[in-house]
Structure 1
């Protein structure tokens, strides 16, 4: 994600320009803090108080110069028009949020309004065209068959060690299809400029698996697959980058 995002920023803005960044649904602030360290002015928006507190704690350990470049706001991201004026940002991030929103179009339209002309909108969504992949690779054939005809992402499964049966856990989330989001971005004057796959090879890796020693090679393979057809089409997640007209 970071490499893909940096590629899009470098191709759209002059080197050394300090950008105004809005990160909606920032979680613990990984991207927000990374971009602040690079010199950008970042506003992070997060609804969950615990995640916001974790981001504040991490920010508090940063040097003063970086702390001054970050503003944190508690919100679910749907009231950006209340907090900010239209065109206030050069880059708007919304990563891993749309999957929890029943009707994503109004949120995406609101985020696009926050962009200055030529601004970059970065979305990370669950890939609705590849929902059967994880279940199939894990041998969950019933789950794979069910996933072909839905954009509702079935929660992950784990094994009940007493019975040996798969047990589903985690929140139910929805997914987005590439064609649908492409049409949405066209309709809000922020047409799709580039898209990538995320987690092409590693989505079926067990939770809690040990990070491999050849992590650099793994990341290189994932990055290559994420920009290469047909691999990116079956990624667990899609990274879409729209540009405000």
Structure 2
């Protein structure tokens, strides 16, 4: 996903430009820190107290120049209008957040308002068109049959959440003046791997295969996650 994001940033902004980045639902701040290390000014928003504490600890371990480029805000991604002015950011990230939001359209619209003209909106969502893949590949035939007719599922944390369909989010992005510019699949072949599995010796080859599949039809359409990139008009 990081490679996909870098590809979109490189295609939209001049080389060397320091971007204003908003990362909503940043978790422990891995993506925020990665972009700060690349020279960008990053604001991270996270509601969970444990996650934001971990992010603050991670930022504190960075050199001063990187620490100065990171601002952390504890809050709900739906209240961005309270903290920031419209058009304040060149890039807005919202990764693995929409599955926890019952009605995603208002959140996505609010994020798009934070973008300057030509800005990039990056969404990572559960693929509602391929929910039967995980139970099917693990031999859970009853679960696979049930998944064909719903966008609701139980995630690996045991929480009841929701997925998004590509067509629905494409329509949403068009309706908020940030039409879909590119989309990728994420975790095409590796979705059934255990979360605590050790990294394989051939990790570079694995990543190369996943990256190729994530941009190639028909493979990207059955990925566990979708990475959608919209551009503010």
- TM superposition score normalised by structure 2: 0.99
2:10 and 2:184 map into 1 onto residues whose CA distance is 16
Root-mean-square deviation (Å): 0.7
Pairing 1:228–2:212 present = no
Q: CA deviation at 1:205?
A: 1.3
- TM superposition score normalised by structure 1: 0.94
Task: Find the counterpart in structure 1 of residue 62 from structure 2.
Answer: 62
CA contact (8 A) 1:147 1:154 kept: no
Q: CA deviation at 1:211?
A: 1.2
1:211 and 1:153 map into 2 onto residues whose CA distance is 27
Matches within 5 A, 1:1-245: 1-156=1-156, 170-245=158-233
Deviations 1:27-74 (A, max 9, x none): 000000000000000000000000000000000000001000000000
Query: How many residues are matched?
Result: 233
2:21 and 2:195 map into 1 onto residues whose CA distance is 31
Runs of 4+ off more than 2 Å: none
List gaps (5 residues or longer) in structure 2.
Answer: none
Matched position secondary structure for 1:186:
helix
Between 146-155 and 216-225, report the one with greater CA deviation.
146-155
Q: CA deviation at 1:207?
A: 3.2
1:171 and 1:221 map into 2 onto residues whose CA distance is 30
